[in-house]
């Protein structure tokens, strides 16, 4: 497959425009907690529990400097990824989805090495900054008697994909991911200040039948809505009837709200999402009487791999390579 080359100059430019900490930071979705589906062992037909005799060759040979709780701890990439996978995706998900998640997280770790944002550490455990990471104590407390069975699923997802990362132009890709999409993923250029050729809008198969709380609404009083909007946009004119406050939204290519006129001011969907704590920018509005309801579909910024979409693809027979090829088109899987 011929892939476009993103030159190192372009990568540097991208890093300057859009440093990784900012990209990950300002967009909590890559580590948005996935709603807990079930965390116990399931009859998902997955691979048998697998505990390697020794850490896998590639991941076991890399030492991660993890900033966690104000301290830097050193651990193997294998151990880092095992607990990161468990922190980012329910282990009840299909094994191929967990493997895709392991590759995405390994790729993100390698991306952080190329775009450092922490002094003295490679990556941190803050879900709002780098990627979620909880250690053994957390999961023993959470899972109790199911700990060994559950962590084995994450461990085998990492081991089965030992050393594999996604690259573009020979460099680690920015393997963004999110919880669930509304039919299609989002183009990175619609959410971030820079667009990446492998983070483009693609189809994603999840639906209300496969995602808990797929459609969710926030209803606020007209007064609260007005105060919130005026707090951010004092120039907005919300003096008329509530039903006239919100205009026709401008949609992105994936159908999410790019911007919507409110009181004569164009409000970006991402800002609206933040202001009202919405789960996504796939929005619809209802303003009448003395309330405003904002309804969102899916969860997260929508860029890159949809975790629930990956799980649906896996349940329909796709392996992790096919899942990754769908959500990161044009990237290549390579060994570390």
Residues forming the site for Zn ion (CB under 5 A): 124, 129-130
The pair of structure tokens assigned to 106 is: 């390994």
Question: In the complex with Zn ion, which residue's Cβ is closer, 124 or 242?
Answer: 124
Question: In the complex with Zn ion, which residue's Cβ is closer, 124 or 267?
Answer: 124
- Smallest gap from Cβ 99 to Zn ion, in A, equals 24
Give the span between the Cα atoms of 147 and 138, in whole angstroms.
Answer: 10
Helices of type H across 89-144: 95-114, 136-143
As a whole number of Å, the CA-based R_g of the chain is 21
- Smallest gap from Cβ 335 to Zn ion, in A, equals 26
Question: In the complex with Zn ion, which residue's Cβ is closer, 110 or 124?
Answer: 124
Question: In the complex with Zn ion, which residue's Cβ is closer, 97 or 129?
Answer: 129
- Smallest gap from Cβ 108 to Zn ion, in A, equals 11
Count the residues in the chain.
Answer: 336
Let me know if 279 is exposed, middle or buried by CB neighbors in 10 A (0-12, 13-18, 19+): buried
Contacts of 66 (CB under 8 A, 6+ apart): 72, 73, 74, 75, 80, 121, 122, 123, 124, 125, 133
| Alpha-carbon distance values, 260 to 175, 242, 247, 302, 336 (Å) | 29, 15, 6, 18, 44
- Smallest gap from Cβ 100 to Zn ion, in A, equals 22
Question: In the complex with Zn ion, which residue's Cβ is closer, 102 or 130?
Answer: 130
The beta-carbon contacts of 245-250 under 8 Å, at least 24 apart in sequence, are 245/287, 245/292, 246/285, 246/287, 246/292, 249/283, 249/285
Give the span between the Cα atoms of 98 and 150, in whole angstroms.
Answer: 12
- Smallest gap from Cβ 30 to Zn ion, in A, equals 11
- Smallest gap from Cβ 105 to Zn ion, in A, equals 13
- Smallest gap from Cβ 24 to Zn ion, in A, equals 7
- Smallest gap from Cβ 3 to Zn ion, in A, equals 29
* Cβ neighbours around 270 below 10 Å, total: 20
Let me know if 248 is exposed, middle or buried by CB neighbors in 10 A (0-12, 13-18, 19+): exposed
Question: In the complex with Zn ion, which residue's Cβ is closer, 72 or 271?
Answer: 72
SS3 163: coil
Question: In the complex with Zn ion, which residue's Cβ is closer, 24 or 143?
Answer: 24
Question: In the complex with Zn ion, which residue's Cβ is closer, 91 or 130?
Answer: 130
């Amino acid at each position: 497959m011929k892939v476009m080359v993103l030159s190192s100059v372009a990568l540097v430019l991208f890093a300057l425009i859009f440093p990784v900490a900012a990209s990950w930071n300002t967009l909590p979705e890559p580590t948005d907690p996935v709603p807990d589906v079930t965390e116990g062992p399931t009859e998902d037909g997955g691979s048998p529990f697998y505990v390697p005799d020794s850490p896998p060759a590639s991941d076991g040979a890399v030492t991660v400097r993890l900033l966690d709780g104000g301290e830097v701890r050193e651990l193997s990439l294998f151990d880092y990824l095992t607990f990161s996978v468990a922190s980012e995706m329910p282990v009840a998900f299909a094994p191929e989805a967990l493997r895709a998640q392991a590759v995405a997280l390994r790729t993100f770790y390698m991306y952080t090495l190329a775009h450092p944002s922490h002094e003295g550490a490679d990556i941190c455990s803050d879900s709002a900054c780098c990627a979620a990471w909880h250690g053994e104590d957390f999961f023993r407390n959470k899972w109790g008697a199911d700990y060994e069975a559950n962590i084995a699923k994450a461990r085998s997802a990492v081991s089965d994909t030992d050393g594999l990362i996604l690259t573009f132009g020979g460099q680690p890709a920015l393997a963004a991911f999110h919880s669930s999409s509304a039919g299609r993923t989002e183009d990175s250029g619609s959410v971030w200040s820079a667009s990446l050729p492998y983070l483009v809008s693609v189809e994603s198969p999840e639906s209300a039948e496969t995602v808990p709380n797929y459609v969710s609404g926030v209803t606020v009083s007209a007064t609260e809505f007005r105060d919130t909007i005026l707090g951010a946009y004092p120039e907005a004119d919300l003096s008329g009837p509530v039903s006239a406050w919100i205009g026709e939204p401008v949609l992105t290519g994936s159908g999410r709200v790019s911007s919507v006129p409110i009181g004569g001011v164009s409000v970006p969907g991402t800002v609206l999402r933040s202001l009202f704590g919405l789960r996504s920018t796939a929005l619809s509005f209802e303003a009448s009487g003395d309330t405003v309801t904002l309804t969102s579909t899916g969860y997260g910024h929508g860029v890159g791999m949809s975790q629930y979409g990956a799980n649906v693809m896996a349940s329909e027979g796709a392996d992790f390579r096919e899942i990754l090829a769908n959500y990161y088109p044009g990237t290549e899987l390579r060994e570390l």
